[in-house]
Amino acid sequence: MNTNLKESFLRLVKLGIGHYSGPIPPGTDWKAIEVLSFRQGLSAIVLDGIERMPDQARPPKELLLQWIGNTLQSYEYRYELYQRTIAELAAWHNSNGYKMMVLKGYACSLNWPKPEHRPCGDIDIWQFGKQKEADTALAKDKGIKIDNSHQHHTVFFWRDFMVENHYDFINVYHHKSSAEVEKVLKQLGKNDFHLVELYGEKVYLPSPNLHALFLLRHAMSEFASSCINVRQVLDWAFFVEKNGKDVDWDWLLRVLDEYNMREFFNCINAICVNDLGFSATLFPNVQYLPDIKERVLNDIIFPEFTAVEPKGFLPRVIYKYRRWKANGWKHKLCYKESMWSAFWSGVWNHLLKPASI
């Protein structure tokens, strides 16, 4: 692991979000910073940090201009198209009698100081239990092809954005505890939500309690199975900064304890405070093991398992088994089930939908 690169990157992120960072070490490898920033989904945030630096300490002009151009194209211009696409999608659903809740990307971006500096990828939606009916109506009305090969959502395209239409908030097919958490999320979703207007269209967003539990469980699941990035940690930090006063923390902590999620929660909060400069007063008091927290942070920035997923059915199966074994320490950190219980549940459900392997 490149400790100097890690330290420079984290200081630039803190600077980019307006937190005190300390000086950027001289001799910074700016090309490596650019690559790492892109991989972590924070090219725009790091550029914001660079713009707060003295001219003589910034990257070479040619690299900086290229970076600015890429940020305008990949972040700011695309975010505008992203919002308009969500509004169009909401307009169709509203006019056809379906409620559309937007998860993850757009919902998270609204908590960022500059929403357009959070990268936008897929559009994730949930339709209050009416997903199948809405998909059928959309395919009939618009001629849109619906992909049903995935385990907990369908997929279709609107403009050039991929839309994941969730019938479950989280993947319930590998862990029994995830199915139990899903019941909590669905119950919250039915009765507890926010409404906003986007270009005059009504869009539903998760309530603070729903969003808190969903963000944590989703990040935890991705971390345990493969990896997460610093952008996802910032999603949590900015959410708490803006909505923490509206979260029922006593309820949330009871849920986290019930499903063995407290240690991961503590590590993420510690990273927000110690490494990203957020105020400790935003978060519940946490106790964490420094060595575990540091291993979590290092894996987020430089994942321990770095093999590239191959093509072909059998090589992919072998790759996923190797990744599963390598991530055993993460599973223990995040889940109450045994690894083998989750393994056989996962195998069975992949056999039911081979395209998901």
Per-residue model confidence as pLDDT tens for the chain (357 residues): 688 999 999 999 999 999 988 888 888 899 999 999 999 999 999 999 999 999 888 999 999 999 999 888 889 999 999 999 999 999 999 999 999 999 988 999 999 999 999 998 899 999 999 999 999 999 999 999 999 988 789 999 998 899 999 989 998 877 888 999 999 999 999 887 889 999 999 999 999 999 999 999 999 999 999 899 999 999 999 999 999 999 999 999 999 999 999 999 999 999 999 999 999 999 998 889 999 999 999 999 999 887 878 887 778 777 787 887 888 899 998 887 766 555 545 554 554 555 555
Whole-number Å distance between alpha carbons of 217 and 256: 9
Whole-number Å distance between alpha carbons of 62 and 41: 22
What is the pLDDT at residue 344?
A: 47
The arrangement of strands across the sheet holding 193-198 comes to 153-158, 161-166, 123-126, 101-103, 201-206, 193-198
Name the pairing type of β-strands 123-126 and 153-158.
unpaired
Whole-number Å distance between alpha carbons of 238 and 230: 12
Q: Is 204 left (phi over 0), alpha (psi -120 to 50) or beta?
A: beta
Enumerate the β-bridge partners of residue 308.
Answer: none
Whole-number Å distance between alpha carbons of 235 and 250: 21
Q: Sort 70 into a burial class: Cβ within 10 Å, 0-12 / 13-18 / 19+.
A: middle
Whole-number Å distance between alpha carbons of 173 and 176: 8
- H runs (alpha helix) in 192-289: 208-225, 230-243, 249-258, 262-274
Residue type, 202: K
User: Can you read off the two tokens belonging to residue 115?
Assistant: 């929403």
Among the listed residues 343, 296, 337, the one whose alpha carbon sits nearest the alpha carbon of residue 323? 343
Phi, psi for 79 (deg, rounded to 5): -65, -40
Enumerate the β-bridge partners of residue 204.
Answer: 101, 195
Q: Is 277 left (phi over 0), alpha (psi -120 to 50) or beta?
A: left
| DSSP element (H, E) containing 165 | strand 161-166
In this structure, the chain runs to a length of 357
Whole-number Å distance between alpha carbons of 219 and 256: 13
Whole-number Å distance between alpha carbons of 123 and 153: 12
Answer for the pair 237, 272: CB distance below 8 angstroms, yes or no. yes
For residue 310, what is the DSSP state? P
Nearest-Å Rg of the Cα atoms of the chain is: 21
Phi, psi for 248 (deg, rounded to 5): -85, 90
Sign, Cα dihedral of 30, 34, 35, 40: positive
Q: How far is residue 148 from each of residues 40, 132, 224, 257, 269, measured CA to CA in Å?
A: 30, 10, 25, 34, 36
Q: Sort 313 into a burial class: Cβ within 10 Å, 0-12 / 13-18 / 19+.
A: exposed
Residue located via tokens 């479950």: 168
What is the pLDDT at residue 67?
A: 93
